[in-house]
Copies of this chain bind each other. A is one copy, B any other.
């Protein structure tokens, strides 16, 4: 379905009830937009939304009732089943569009899409069985990384292939799913661009972010990343090209690797595209004029994009698992902006909140 005009007081739908949906719903509320969350499990977004549906993503009756109550549907995660997206898209606009979802939720399709745009990625080969994995390893060498085409996040669905690794066992350890083998890129830093595109083609990117991971989970983002202005411009320009090619509406994040070579200088390789607001953009709530959450709402509602100007240089640190127990100290730390997601169980590896520190210029 084509776009609609959203006005304050209207209700929009969000698939997913995690912290991203929660922060989207709060940004929408500030602008007078009601949110209705659809998710199989209740989660932190349920607590701040005007409406909630707890139902499976293949429950067509629940999906139809949901579609009837909202003026458009967006989502907080890229693994929305294609049936869900298509079923809803026949009834209300789904933004970003289902094609952006389909491309980005499959590593093989995503990498081919990027290469077709002339955007470099790590070298990769399609792997459908253990024999194919052996052939791919012979071609790309070791170390290399086997990744399932679908449903990977935070390091899940990945296995490193080293000297001596048992290829058949590794292929089985990932469930024998269709996969790709990726060559290892000798990158020095991980970067991301969080940006938005409106239905009119307007494009606004936030400052390039630099990301540090621990145990495959984002730990710290700093912005602006200290790179050459040519690199920052190249990252922005790749992201604009991706958004344009996807006819994208909303906020997206493009994760990149920076390869620093004494001879060739800085080169960027795109790792993956997240068709949604992104953890590496959380700093924008405290550190930019318009947060990524408000920006996404503006874009999908067909409203003008807001300024991405920064209030200063920023550091965003995730509070993972028991890190959250430091909340009392963070409440009194001058300049620290604390965000807690209202989750009860501080399990290891679970994102419980984040803290942003903005250093004014």
A8 and B327 form a contact (CB under 8 A) = yes
Task: Find the B residue at minimum CB distance from A285.
Answer: B30
Interface SS majority for chain A: mixed
Closest B residue, CB atoms, query A328: B303
Question: What's the Cα separation between A31 and B334 when bound, in Å?
Answer: 16
Residue of B nearest to A22 (CB): B29
Chain A 39-55 near chain B by CB (<8 Å), digits 1 or 0: 00000001111100000
A309-343 residues at the B interface, CB under 8 angstroms: 324, 327-328, 331-332, 334-335, 338-343
Given contacts A30-B26, A32-B353, A46-B50, contact A331 B304 (CB under 8 A): yes
Report the nearest B residue to A298, measured CB to CB. Answer: B331
- List chain B residues, Cβ under 8 A from A338: 30-31
Whole-angstrom distance between the Cβ of A360 and the nearest chain B Cβ: 9
Total copies of the chain: 2
Q: Are B8 and A29 in contact (CB under 8 A)?
A: no
Residues of B within 8 A of A31 (CB): 338-340
A48 to chain B, nearest CB (A): 5
Which of A289, A324, A340: most chain B CB closer than 10 A? Answer: A340
Which of B33, B298, B304, B342 is in CB contact (< 8 Å) with A342? B33
Q: Which residues of B contact A26 (CB under 8 A)?
A: 26, 29-30, 48
Q: Smallest distance from the beta carbon of A307 to chain B beta carbons, Å?
A: 7
Q: Is A175 an interface residue (CB 8 A)?
A: no
- A9 near B50: Cβ-Cβ < 8 Å: no
Q: How far is the CB of A82 from chain B (nearest CB, A)?
A: 31
1/0 contact string of A214-241 vs chain B (CB within 8 Å): 0000000000000000000000000000
**Interface flag for A34 (CB, 8 Å):** yes
Name which residue of chain B comes closest to A9, CB basis. Answer: B344
The verdict on A120 contacting chain B, using a C-beta distance below 8 Å, is no
Beta-carbon contacts of A1-43 to B below 8 Å, as 1s and 0s? 0000000110000000000001001100111111000000000
In this assembly, does A306 line the interface, its C-beta being within 8 Å of a C-beta of chain B?
yes
Top 7 A-B pairs ranked by shortest CB distance?
Answer: A32-B340, A47-B50, A32-B342, A8-B340, A304-B332, A9-B344, A29-B48
Q: Can you identify 22 A-B contacts, CB atoms within 8 angstroms?
A: A8-B324, A8-B342, A8-B353, A9-B342, A25-B48, A26-B26, A29-B47, A29-B48, A29-B342, A31-B338, A31-B340, A32-B343, A33-B342, A47-B49, A47-B50, A48-B50, A289-B335, A298-B331, A303-B331, A304-B328, A306-B331, A307-B334
What residues of chain A have their CB less than 8 Å away from a CB belonging to chain B?
8-9, 22, 25-26, 29-34, 46-50, 289, 298, 303-304, 306-307, 324, 327-328, 331-332, 334-335, 338-344, 353
